[in-house]
Amino acid sequence: MLSSLYSPYWHRIARLRPALRGHVQVHRHFYRNQPWFLIQDHSSGKFHRFSDDAYAVVALFDGRRTLDDIWSILVRRFDDTVMRQDEIVQLLAKLYRADALVVDGAPDTGELFDRMIKTRNRMRLMRWRSPLSIRIPLFDPQDFLDRTLGIVGPLLSPFGALLWLLTVGSAVVLAGLHWSELTENVIDRVLSAESLLILALTFPIVKLLHEFGHAYITRMLGGEVHEIGVIVLVLMPVPYCEASSASAFSEHWKRALVGAGGMLVELFLASLAMWVWVNAEPGMVRAVAFNVMLIAGVSTLLFNGNPLIRFDGYYILSDLIEIPNLATRSNQYFAYLFQRYLFGMKQTTSPANSTGESLWMFFYAIGSFCYRIFLTVVIVLFLAGQFFIIGVILAIWAFVLMALQPLWKQLMFL
């Protein structure tokens, strides 16, 4: 027991005096009734989650105590339940890699600048890695949101919620009454030249309003939004906003509300379009209303509301079941199962903190992987049928990223 408690490398770091950087902020959250601490790095916009035990160590990082002093305090305070020295070393390494830690006084600004440049270059590379989605940031909307929040505010109130329910509920009734007319020869109507042109023109506008739904709710609840841009998704430009500051909200319903903001806006637009479609005469206005219903209604439910892909439904599910980073940790859980039960690596630890989390991660990993494969195949086949060369290029690109790259990583691990 004692041999596993101590680390043979402790003497190399025992005299260091660690402290959290000034741009780091700590938030206390509860996930599945367990306390966790979220460290928010305002310089990079990243969040790092630590257990209650780990934060008991981090809270002692004040820049004055040495690691030996901290270890002595931990031993007196926790006795047999104290973290192992190896775990503290790993904790230090995690904070250092995240640029959240300074050791022995003033930081090495040259090293920090170099690491910031490397992080920025890595993020730029990540934006161009996927063949089906390329991310391009455009501008900072924070000032615009602050100036217009007073105008939009009434829609984000109980009155706005009642108005939304009445509008969407009445539109659902209208859709049921006119269902045969709505669905009659729908494929040919959607793929007509006129409809495709209207679809191309209305799609970015609807999706921009969708993103402002996320942005306004984030700002109303006290978060910040500093990036709006475009994702080129399957050759189609789609607006996005960076609302990750909502991760700092301690109440999980607030985080889920931010995730649902875009879909709430789109369903409201689809309901208004239903009223226009029912009352308008055949012509351009009615055609535009039909396409808005198609974009804001059908696509919202099939894509944004689907938790198996990393759109709004995924983040809502993660917040409601209180398992942050569900997709990443689900993949890590599968890796843990292979390492422990296939290769016999008994020292491997599970990313799941309970039986409930392990079940969610197991089934989510299988479901999301199968759905990604299905969606990629459908998109590639569709594009290959329309633009053969582009379809082939995307197929090769997707095969490399989804099959060859993970296989290569596993071979390197072995």
Model confidence over 55-82: pLDDT tens digits?
888 889 888 899 999 999 988 888 777 7
- Helix ranges (H only) for 306-387 are 312-320, 326-337, 355-386
More reliable by pLDDT, 137 or 215 = 215
Position 267 scores a pLDDT of 94
Q: How does the average pLDDT of the chain come out, rounded?
A: 83
Give the mean model confidence (pLDDT) for residues 348-355. 86
More reliable by pLDDT, 114 or 190 = 190
121 pLDDT band, cuts 50/70/90, is low
Quote the tokens at residue 36: 């966790």
Q: Kindly report which listed range (114-123, 204-213, 283-292, 365-374) carries the lowest average pLDDT score.
A: 114-123
Give the mean model confidence (pLDDT) for residues 271-295. 92
Judge whether residue 320 has pLDDT over 70: yes
User: How would you write 149-213 as a 3-class SS string?
Assistant: HHHHHHHHCHHHHHHHHHHHHHHHHHHHHCHHHHHCCHHHHHCCHHHHHHHHHHHHHHHHHHHHH
As a whole number of angstroms, the distance between CA 89 and CA 67 comes to 10
Give the mean model confidence (pLDDT) for residues 118-134. 56
Position 109 scores a pLDDT of 43
Could you give the maximum distance between any two Cα atoms of the chain, in Å?
82
Q: Provide the 10 A C-beta neighbour count for residue 215.
A: 27
177 pLDDT band, cuts 50/70/90, is very high
Percent of the chain with pLDDT over 70: 86
391 pLDDT band, cuts 50/70/90, is low
